[in-house]
Amino acid sequence: MNKQTLTITDNRTGKNYEVPIENETVNAKDLRNIKVNDADFGLMTYDPAFMNTSICKSTITYIDGDNGILEHCGYPIEQLAEQSTFLEVAYLILHRELPNRKQLKKWTDDITLHTFVHENVKKLMEGFRYDAHPMGMFVSTLAALSTFYPEAKLIFDDELRRKQILRLIGKVPTVAAFAYRHTKGMPYVYPDNDLSFVGNYLSMMFKIAELRYKPHPVLEKALDVLFILHIDHEQNCSTTAMRVVGSSHSDPYSATAAAAAALYGPLHGGANEAVLSMLDEIGSVQNVPNFIKKVKEDKGKLMGFGHRVYKNYDPRARIIKKLADQVFDITGRNPKLDIALELERVALQDEYFIKRKLYPNVDFYSGLIYKAMGFPTDFFPVLFAIPRTAGWIAHWQEMILDSEQKITRPRQIYLGSKRREYITISRRG
């Protein structure tokens, strides 16, 4: 076998350095040995936005962006979406194995036990303005949960850590639904623990006067699949936020709030909301060519297109596109689907998008399904955050138990003024 090393010649000094290659990666710290003299700090890498930097070793999710492959613990996303359930996949990414029947029952019971929130959480949420963005309420309430569970700070206590994990997965749908009811001015609906994870969530969202809410089985299944598709996506912006904040050993509620805040942006989980606004703006299929022209002139982005990792069709978008038909059979077809299909058709044939390898991502079609199911547009990022919470905490746990991890603290290249003497204000001109 060839030697697994990299030889670097520093032309400043003429010296050679041999750096080990492990997992097709060089350790950035090895570059620090490359110095001009003993006083030199050593060579660093410059990588804004972590375009080519691995920040951890992980065993949760594998993505091959060039070939459009996504797997969780080895299982292809297509098989999980077709055959599994959200809670099963949540178990998988936290334990790295699918549960057997007994394990799944216990896991489901344990999470179901934690669906209720303290009454003061309700009071806290009542304090938000009537038109508060649901994601703002969601982020703030998640952070506030840390004040209800101060023991969550003991992150290295295995039992306590497990309890917070169950609480987080169990409570996020409740917090999310309360945020929705708040904006509608409707009474909050308490969890119904006889329903499935998704069924209960739909009940907390949409129950009105009926004694017991009965979710439509097709819509319940569709949302469960959407939850599976959003559960994890390795080192994306919000998961990295979770790891960075968690690396200072803050409690998991605070770290999850930070991750949700990162998700909120329109370049990440807020894109599904932005797609619907874009489709509204385009208005009709006839306006698609003009809109694409504007995007190519750099006057806006085709939201729901492009991805840092996928340079091929996002496999999740493919599954969602199929799912849309099943949902529209029940809810009626959303006329905006035609605009989306035309956008996709035109973009995938256009040199601009082909050259840049821009394909639909997970957010391109998900919003249309959410809309058809009755969720308001500004609620879409919350629908993303509910399942992604399981992914965030899987990564958080992996990070805090990884002996190679430390508090995240990157370096910078300082290009500001050199040292100078202070000038009193009267002499500043």
> Which positions are annotated as active-site residues?
268, 307, 363
- Contacting ligand ACO (CB under 6 A), which of 243, 307, 336, 395? 307
301 binds ligand ACO (CB under 6 A): yes
- Contacting ligand ACO (CB under 6 A), which of 170, 191, 306, 381? 306
53: how many CB neighbours lie within 10 A of its CB? 13
122 binds ligand ACO (CB under 6 A): no
Beta carbon nearer to ligand ACO, 165 or 295? 295
61 binds ligand ACO (CB under 6 A): no
Structure tokens of 397?
């746990």
268 binds ligand ACO (CB under 6 A): yes
281: how many CB neighbours lie within 10 A of its CB? 10
271 binds ligand ACO (CB under 6 A): yes
Comparing every residue's Cβ against ligand ACO, the nearest one is 306
356 binds ligand ACO (CB under 6 A): yes
304 binds ligand ACO (CB under 6 A): yes
**Binding pattern for the stretch 227-266 against ligand ACO, x by CB under 6 A and - elsewhere:** ---------x------------------------------
Question: In the sheet where 25-26 sits, what is the strand order?
Answer: 5-10, 15-22, 25-26
- Contacting ligand ACO (CB under 6 A), which of 121, 303, 339, 399? 303
Stretch that binds ligand ACO, among 56-64, 173-181, 302-310, 418-426 (CB under 6 A): 302-310
Beta carbon nearer to ligand ACO, 164 or 236? 236
Q: Of 357, 310, 355, whose CA–CA distance to 64 is shortest?
A: 310
311 binds ligand ACO (CB under 6 A): no
25-26/61-64 β-pairing: unpaired
269 binds ligand ACO (CB under 6 A): yes
Nearest-angstrom CA–CA distance, 378 and 384: 12
Please tell me the number of Cα atoms within 13 Å of 377 on its side-chain side.
11
Minimal distance in Å, beta carbon 269 to ligand ACO? 6
Q: Quick check: 391 and 90 in contact, CB under 8 A?
A: no
Residues with Cβ within 8 Å of 428's Cβ and at least 6 positions away in sequence, in order, are none
Minimal distance in Å, beta carbon 174 to ligand ACO? 24
295 binds ligand ACO (CB under 6 A): yes
Q: Quick check: 125 and 174 in contact, CB under 8 A?
A: no
Q: Quick check: 85 and 227 in contact, CB under 8 A?
A: no
Nearest-angstrom CA–CA distance, 251 and 402: 17
Beta carbon nearer to ligand ACO, 292 or 399? 292
First to last CA, the chain: 68
Minimal distance in Å, beta carbon 141 to ligand ACO? 22
> What stretches of 300-379 show up as alpha helix (H) in DSSP?
315-331, 336-349, 351-355, 363-372
363 binds ligand ACO (CB under 6 A): yes
302 binds ligand ACO (CB under 6 A): yes
Nearest-angstrom CA–CA distance, 17 and 12: 13
Interface size with ligand ACO, residues (CB under 6 A) = 19
Residues with Cβ within 8 Å of 191's Cβ and at least 6 positions away in sequence, in order, are 115, 116, 174, 200, 203, 204
Contact residues: ligand ACO, CB under 6 A: 236, 267-269, 271, 295, 301-308, 356, 358, 361-363
